[in-house]
């Protein structure tokens, strides 16, 4: 079976975790701090604040930029639910804006239509490992007091104009979940250049207590702290992130070569001014292929290729969000794309032969 995701945990990670467990400090200690420093350096940010999930990172980011009840926050309906739930956790209203077919990310023109006097922030998502159209979003919000919390959970190491993912907002949020491009088991990270925002995030992950004044609480907070075992895994993984991403990009090149001339198969577009890190390699299956997306998925599974649909239903059509009054037809691009997409295995353990095998199967199954 060629699996859709497979974390690469080896002796280096195992040794690092054992060393932490023997050290006596297992939470929120020097490994976490070292991980934060190296992570900030990797992203080219001044500060990084470790969290225990990507969800916590998005939540802390929203808190730090001041999102609270009564505010509106704009995000994509075509993403993992954790881009939107933290908005509700802050008591704010989720306002969806449709995506662009070209990059699966939020469409800046659609954002413009959704801005009101209550818009406090935008959560653009770097879906599948490609950075959102940052320049257009910036020009739309210019002169307005609207903050950006970049959901870079799928995009560590991605680049645009020489700058790394997570840097295209007031804060950037990362996930280090098992299937992301690098992992700490569970985990997350916030990056920012703003000292005040970094401080707010540090407080928020530790019950609202500022690091300097023990047992003095300034505001509400949560327990979003990272373990040092997680940080040790994350540090080992961070040392390999560029190699991992290079493997993903190589596999994407193989897919491009092998799949580009198959009618009805449309491939993810490259990022002309940057680096797409292919957290997912997501193709679209349209009528000309002669078989349905779901039939192809089932056929590939039968041939030992695990594929997945990210995401089968846009967020606004789930009961959880429908109750805010959204109906089918509100976001036609997201709705259509969700019926067409299929993600193929592309992680670093997928070999060139595996990729060729997958290409061959997709080609033979076409009608
Ligand atoms: C994974 C992910 C998250 C949440 O990260 P967790 O670590 O699972 O909490 C948020 N947004 C996106 C786009 C993600 O892919």
Q: What is the pLDDT of residues 78-117, one digit of tens each?
A: 999 999 999 999 999 999 999 999 999 999 999 999 999 9
Q: What is the mean pLDDT of residues 164-175?
A: 98
Distance 125 CA to ligand 1 centre (A): 10
% of the chain surpassing 70 pLDDT: 100
Predicted local confidence at residue 323, as pLDDT: 86
Non-local (6+) Cβ contacts of 65 within 8 A are: 120, 121, 147, 149, 170, 171, 197
Cα separation, 42 vs 36, whole angstroms? 10
Predicted local confidence at residue 216, as pLDDT: 85
Distance 80 CA to ligand 1 centre (A): 7
Q: Which atom of ligand 1 is nearest to the CA of 56?
A: 9
State yes or no: pLDDT of 238 exceeds 80. yes
311 lines ligand 1 (CB under 6 A): no
321 lines ligand 1 (CB under 6 A): no
Distance 56 CA to ligand 1 centre (A): 9
Contact 305, 345 (CB under 8 A): yes
Structure tokens at 192: 């920012």
76 lines ligand 1 (CB under 6 A): no
Predicted local confidence at residue 210, as pLDDT: 80
Q: What is the mean pLDDT of residues 187-201?
A: 98
Q: What is the mean pLDDT of residues 238-248?
A: 98
Angle at 217 between CA 212 and CA 223, to 5 degrees: 90
Predicted local confidence at residue 211, as pLDDT: 75
Q: pLDDT digits over 26-67, tens only?
A: 998 899 999 999 999 999 999 999 999 999 999 999 999 999
Among 4, 7, 51, 54, which is best to mutate for testing ligand 1, by the most ligand atoms less than 8 A from CB? Answer: 54
Distance 264 CA to ligand 1 centre (A): 30
Q: How confident is the model at residue 213 (pLDDT cuts 50, 70, 90)?
A: confident
Q: What is the mean pLDDT of residues 279-287?
A: 98
Q: What is the mean pLDDT of residues 204-219?
A: 87
Among 76, 87, 158, 177, which is best to mutate for testing ligand 1, by the most ligand atoms less than 8 A from CB? Answer: 177
C-alpha distances (whole Å) from 170 to each of 38, 193, 256, 277 are: 20, 8, 34, 22
Non-local (6+) Cβ contacts of 16 within 8 A are: 232, 233, 235, 236
Q: pLDDT digits over 123-161, tens only?
A: 999 999 999 999 999 999 999 999 999 999 999 999 999
Helix and strand totals (H; E) in the chain: 13, 13
Contact 209, 221 (CB under 8 A): yes
Cα separation, 326 vs 277, whole angstroms? 32
Q: Which atom of ligand 1 is nearest to the CA of 126?
A: 13
Predicted local confidence at residue 214, as pLDDT: 77
State yes or no: pLDDT of 171 exceeds 90. yes
Name the one residue in this structure whose structure tokens are 């976001």.
331
pTM: predicted TM-score of the whole model, two decimal places? 0.98
Q: pLDDT digits over 320-347, tens only?
A: 998 889 999 999 999 999 999 999 999 9
Structure tokens at 221: 């907070």
Q: How confident is the model at residue 244 (pLDDT cuts 50, 70, 90)?
A: very high
Which is nearest to 82 in space by CA: 70, 69, 94? 94
Q: What is the DSSP letter of 267?
A: P
State yes or no: pLDDT of 212 exceeds 80. no
């Amino acid at each position: 079976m060629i699996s859709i995701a497979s974390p690469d945990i080896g002796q280096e990670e195992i040794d690092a975790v054992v060393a932490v467990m023997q050290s006596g400090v297992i939470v929120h200690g020097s490994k976490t701090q070292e991980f934060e420093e190296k992570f900030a350096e990797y992203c080219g940010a001044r500060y990084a604040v470790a969290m225990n999930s990507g969800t916590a990172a998005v939540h802390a980011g929203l808190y730090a930029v001041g999102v609270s009840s009564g505010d509106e926050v704009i995000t994509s309906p075509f993403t993992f639910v954790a881009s939107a739930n933290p908005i509700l956790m802050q008591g704010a209203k989720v306002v969806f804006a449709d995506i662009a077919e070209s990059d699966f990310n939020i469409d800046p023109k659609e954002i413009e239509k959704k801005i009101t006097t209550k818009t406090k922030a935008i959560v653009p998502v770097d879906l599948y490992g490609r950075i959102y159209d940052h320049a257009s979003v910036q020009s739309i919000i210019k002169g307005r007091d609207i903050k950006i919390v970049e959901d870079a959970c799928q995009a560590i190491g991605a680049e645009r104009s020489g700058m790394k993912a997570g840097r295209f907002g007031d804060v950037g949020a990362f996930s280090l979940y098992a299937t992301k491009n690098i992992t700490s088991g569970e985990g997350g990270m916030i990056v920012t250049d703003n000292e005040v925002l970094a401080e707010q995030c540090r407080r928020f992950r530790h019950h609202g207590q500022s690091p300097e004044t023990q047992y003095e609480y300034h505001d509400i907070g949560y327990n979003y702290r990272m373990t040092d075992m997680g940080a040790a895994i994350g540090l080992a993984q961070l040392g390999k992130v560029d190699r991992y991403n290079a493997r993903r990009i190589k596999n994407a090149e193989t897919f491009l070569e092998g799949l580009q001339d198959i009618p009805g198969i449309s491939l993810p577009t490259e990022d002309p001014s940057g680096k797409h890190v292919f957290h997912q390699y997501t193709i679209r299956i349209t009528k000309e292929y002669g078989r349905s997306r779901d039939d192809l998925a089932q056929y590939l599974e039968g041939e030992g290729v695990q594929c997945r649909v990210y995401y089968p239903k846009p967020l606004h059509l789930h009961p959880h969000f429908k109750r805010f009054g959204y109906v089918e037809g509100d976001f036609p691009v997201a709705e259509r794309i969700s019926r067409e997409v299929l993600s193929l295995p592309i992680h670093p353990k997928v070999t060139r032969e595996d990729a060729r095998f997958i290409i061959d199967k997709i080609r033979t199954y076409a009608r």
